[in-house]
């Protein structure tokens, strides 16, 4: 089995012109809402507040939003425990919210692990810090380990 290697794209370095991004239209809509919410609320609220605002904004734009979604994590082919994802948009993109002064270095790896637990391949890590920042994380299904 080939180990999955996360592809991380951030607000600092998006792919060059002409390259197609997986779930581009959905992630663009999520990022537009992210910027709108951050501009309106600023820094200092709990993740829960930002998630509610994101949900409201995305639903108003016609997107399906599922919050606090439980997924099963497997260990050696056996169910181990449920993990809760912050948000799934249009049944295609996992969204993880962070509302801290500084983004923890392991936050992208956490989102990557969440993607490994699902059939979804694209995730957005939204950091509602003093400056709005995001990371786009990819985990292609062909590299995921599946329960036996």
pLDDT tens-place values along the chain, 148 residues long: 344 444 444 443 344 444 566 788 899 999 999 999 999 999 999 999 999 999 999 999 999 999 999 988 888 878 889 999 999 999 999 999 999 999 888 888 889 888 888 888 899 999 999 999 999 988 877 766 655 4
Beta strands 122-128 and 93-98, pairing class? parallel
Strands (DSSP E) found in the chain: 7-10, 65-75, 78-89, 93-98, 122-128, 132-138
Q: For the chain, give percent helix, strand, coil, nearest 5.
A: 30, 30, 35
For residue 106 the two structure tokens come to 């392991």
pTM of the shown model: 0.80
Concatenated DSSP letters of 57-91: HHHHTT--EEEEEEEEEEETTEEEEEEEEEEEETT
Q: Which residue has the tokens 């692990």?
A: 113
The domains of the chain, with CATH numbers, are 23-143 (3.90.320.10)
Tell me the C-alpha distance between 121 and 112, whole Å.
9
- Per the CB < 8 A criterion, the answer to whether 64 and 90 are in contact is yes
């Amino acid at each position: 089995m080939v180990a999955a290697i996360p592809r991380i794209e951030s607000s600092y370095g998006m792919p060059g012109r002409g390259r197609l991004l997986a779930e581009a239209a959905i992630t663009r809509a999520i990022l537009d809402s992210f910027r709108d919410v951050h501009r309106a609320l600023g820094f200092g609220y709990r993740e829960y507040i930002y998630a509610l605002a994101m949900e409201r904004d995305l639903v108003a734009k016609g997107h399906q939003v599922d919050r606090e979604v439980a997924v099963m994590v497997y260990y050696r082919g056996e169910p181990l425990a449920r993990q809760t994802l912050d948000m799934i948009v249009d049944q295609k993109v996992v969204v993880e919210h962070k509302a801290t002064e500084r983004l923890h270095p392991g936050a992208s790896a956490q989102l990557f692990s969440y993607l490994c637990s699902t059939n979804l391949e694209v995730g957005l890590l939204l950091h509602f810090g003093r400056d709005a920042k995001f990371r786009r994380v990819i985990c292609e299904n062909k590299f995921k380990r599946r329960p036996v």
